[in-house]
Structure 1
Amino acid sequence: MTQFTNLAFFRARPGQTRALGAALRAFVAPTRAESERLNYNLHRSLDEADVWLVYENWRSAEGLDAHMKAPHLQAFLEVAPNLIAGDIRLRRFSMISSLATQGA
């Protein structure tokens, strides 16, 4: 199985960290309901409170593409310019190694 991984980095505009966090949290549940999603996790930087990260893995490129077009993500992207300083830094990866097992 080829796994596709996205790392998406967000930096909140000054004074918008709480609002950005709420907006990001709002689409965790609908994204986790997507059938091609393996995992989807939201993180906040311990070093810079305004920096957020979404770590997500998908079963297929098609599943990832469908997610990028999903209504809940599109709704976030409409409000994102008011909440995010600069651009969303999106990095896409495909897994090269095999999946790790517990304790390995």
Structure 2
Amino acid sequence: MEIFRQYLKSKTSISDEQFSILSSELKIRQVSKGEVLLIANTRMKFKDEFVDTVKTMILNDLIDSTRKEEGCIKYNVHQSEDDSNVFTFHETWKNKDGFNFHMRQPYVTDFLELVKDKLVNPLLLVKGHVL
């Protein structure tokens, strides 16, 4: 994948972030035929006074650790342009077992425990499969 990144950088003006998104999309296409992917989207809205703290926690702990998990194909977190208190987690997992393993990791359970009283309303988690 590194050779591919270097090639793209030499031929285009692709940023590292754009390459990360592209490589995530390529990983999805490399999954074995017939394997069921699990897609999870989570929306969290935080109280004003906690947004910076939560954002730091997401950037410092959650993203890198999650992307290293074997079952993780794609893990992106977005902060809303319309409401900076809203974060949306877009996740693609090889299967349900990969997602369940992720949810048991200390950096996930610790994060969820730390943010539960910082939310404006309960988090919204939607899970599904690619049609």
Normalized against structure 1, the TM-score is what? 0.87
Structure 1: stretches of 5+ with no match in the other structure: 97-104
Question: Which protein is richer in helix relative to its size?
Answer: 2
Query: Hey, what does 1:14 align to over in structure 2?
Result: 48
Q: Distance in 2 between matches of 1:84 and 1:49?
A: 13
Structure 2: stretches of 5+ with no match in the other structure: 1-34
Q: Considering only aligned residues, what root-mean-square deviation do their CA atoms show, in Å?
A: 1.0
Per-residue displacement from partner, 1:66-85 (whole Å, max 9, x unpaired)?
A: 11111110110110123221
Per-residue displacement from partner, 1:9-30 (whole Å, max 9, x unpaired)?
A: 0101121111121122221011
Q: Distance in 1 between matches of 2:66 and 2:105?
A: 9
Determine if contact 1:19/1:83 at 8 Å carries over to the other structure. Answer: no
AA in 1 matched with 2:45: R
Which has more radius of gyration? Answer: 2
Query: Hey, what does 2:27 align to over in structure 1?
Result: none
Normalized against structure 2, the TM-score is what? 0.70
Query: Hey, what does 1:38 align to over in structure 2?
Result: 73
Question: Which protein is richer in strand relative to its size?
Answer: 1
Determine if contact 1:43/1:54 at 8 Å carries over to the other structure. Answer: yes
- Structure 2 residue 111 is the aligned partner of structure 1 residue 76: yes
Aligned-residue identity in percent: 20
AA in 1 matched with 2:77: L
Higher relative contact order (CA closer than 8 Å, sequence separation 6+): 1
State how many pairs are aligned. Answer: 96
